[in-house]
Amino acid sequence: MGKNNFLSNKYTQGILIPLFLLFLGVIVELLSNHTGVTLPGWPLNLYILIGLVVYLILLNKLLSKSLRNTLSGIEYSVGAIGVYAILILLMGFIKQNDLQASDFVREAGFSHINRSWQLFLVSLYVLIVLGLVILKRIVRIKSYKDFAFLLNHLGIWIVIVTASLATGDLLRASMPIVENSVSNIVKINDTTFYNLPFWIRLKKFDITTYNPDVMFYEPYSHRILNKAGVDYSVAENKQLSMDGWKIRVNKVLENAKRIGDGFELSDSVTNEYAANITAKYGGGKIKRTFWISSGNYILPSTSYLLSKRLAITLSMPAEKKFLSVIDIIDGSKIIRDIKILVNKPYNYKGFNIYQAGYKFVDNSKISILEVVKDPWLPIVYVGLIMLVVGAVMLLWIGKIR
């Protein structure tokens, strides 16, 4: 008796149905090739959208009034959106596209939730439930509250459907490119490549760093001895002290290469920071002059042993800014000297070009650009604006009443 009452509760039904779909999606993932759902791109995804809208209109007409009212009730909406929100939250907690993920996480689809069967089935269910809610409300708009409710729910529906269909047209790829070279090939994954409809020429790649710190440490334990609150960044004529030693920075080379026991300026990509130091102890009775350096991606840092308990070196400099200067070549059209920085992309023909990283190989600078194309994104933004405006209107209407 108690069990029947529990299952007859609409909130219970509202949560159990999407949970069952989530579980069914996991089963499909486990029994399939673990790659999830591949949705088609343009224009097939547009046809799917039109077909879904037509299906919802027909379903709204064909369902009995009681069943239509049940599915469009708040209990089913809350359950559907709640389970959908759980899956979206899991995307934030579980690293996606992680090749090192456990077998179960990968095979059950939780390492690629955005294209998993569970998200596909739950999203479809949410779209049906919300679609029935929207169709029910759209025919009886009588107040600002009804309009705000419709705007809010329609915004949610647009966000979910366009975010789902966008996967067929979404391109996110990397382009490692060497200075003074031209390419239009981007890498989607280790086996998939894409040819851009234009070419990119990397004219220049620059890295700006902060000055490294002068680092004091114990030679055997490598315990850092630098004190909190003291500025240790290297600069010419800077004076520091540690354990009775008086340190003076005579000269700093930002781009230096090793020559014997010293350093000189160089334009090689294997450059490092170097500093000429004079160290005095006991009021100048002991005086030593030497070079230390920060090292780089190939060479270790250069240090100097002041005593059995104290050594000195330079830290690796932290990156301040790195940018690529590119030309875009599109047939006879050339757009010159475009600066690409982190979080400051350049958009061309719907492709956003980002500065993603860099590396050095065989004495060459390689800039890693990221190319992203998401033609559905403006529609997603429209849905988000509708959602927010509707929610604000509902709050405002509730306050004035």
Q: Are residues 308 and 344 in the same domain?
A: no
pLDDT score for 8:
56
Beta strands at 239-242 and 245-259: parallel, antiparallel or unpaired: antiparallel
Q: Are residues 32 and 118 in the same domain?
A: yes
Range of the domain at 302: 211-317
Whether residue 43 has a cis bond before it, omega within 30° of 0: yes
Q: Are residues 32 and 133 in the same domain?
A: yes
pLDDT confidence band for 1 (50 / 70 / 90):
very low
Phi, psi dihedrals of residue 140, rounded to the nearest 5°: -140, 50
Number of domains into which the chain is organized: 3
pLDDT confidence band for 82 (50 / 70 / 90):
very high
pLDDT score for 5:
56
Dist. CA 374–CA 167, nearest whole Å: 8
With residues binned 3-state (H G I as helix, E B as strand, rest as coil), the percentages for the chain, rounded to 5, are 40, 35, 30
Dist. CA 176–CA 80, nearest whole Å: 42
Q: Are residues 35 and 66 in the same domain?
A: yes
Compute how many other C-beta atoms are within 10 angstroms of the C-beta atom of residue 358.
18
pLDDT score for 2:
47
Choose between 255 and 47: higher pLDDT.
Answer: 47
Dist. CA 29–CA 27, nearest whole Å: 5
Q: Which of 54, 155, 174, 218 is nearest to 394 (CA)?
A: 155
Which residue, 281, 297, 317, sits at the end of a domain?
317
* Residue recorded with tokens 């090292």: 295
Phi, psi dihedrals of residue 227, rounded to the nearest 5°: -95, 145
Q: Are residues 163 and 89 in the same domain?
A: yes
Residue 47 burial class via C-beta count within 10 angstroms: exposed 0-12, middle 13-18, buried 19 and up: exposed
Q: Are residues 202 and 238 in the same domain?
A: no
pLDDT confidence band for 227 (50 / 70 / 90):
very high
Q: Are residues 55 and 162 in the same domain?
A: yes
Dist. CA 230–CA 226, nearest whole Å: 8
Compute how many other C-beta atoms are within 10 angstroms of the C-beta atom of residue 373.
17
pLDDT score for 219:
94
Q: Are residues 364 and 259 in the same domain?
A: no
Q: Are residues 260 and 341 in the same domain?
A: no
Contact 324, 283 (CB under 8 A): no
pLDDT score for 13:
87
Q: Are residues 137 and 175 in the same domain?
A: no
Q: Which of 391, 384, 341 is nearest to 205 (CA)?
A: 341
Which residue, 301, 317, 333, sits at the end of a domain?
317
pLDDT score for 266:
81
* Residue recorded with tokens 């200067």: 325
Choose between 395 and 28: higher pLDDT.
Answer: 28
Q: Are residues 260 and 180 in the same domain?
A: no
Q: Which of 27, 36, 34, 39 is nearest to 116 (CA)?
A: 36
Q: Are residues 113 and 156 in the same domain?
A: yes
pLDDT score for 400:
53
Question: Per-residue pLDDT tens for 239-290?
Answer: 999 999 999 999 999 989 888 888 998 877 668 899 999 999 988 889 999 9
In terms of residues, how long is the chain?
401
Give me the residues paired with residue 216 across strands.
312
Contact 246, 287 (CB under 8 A): no
Dist. CA 89–CA 105, nearest whole Å: 15
Dist. CA 185–CA 325, nearest whole Å: 18
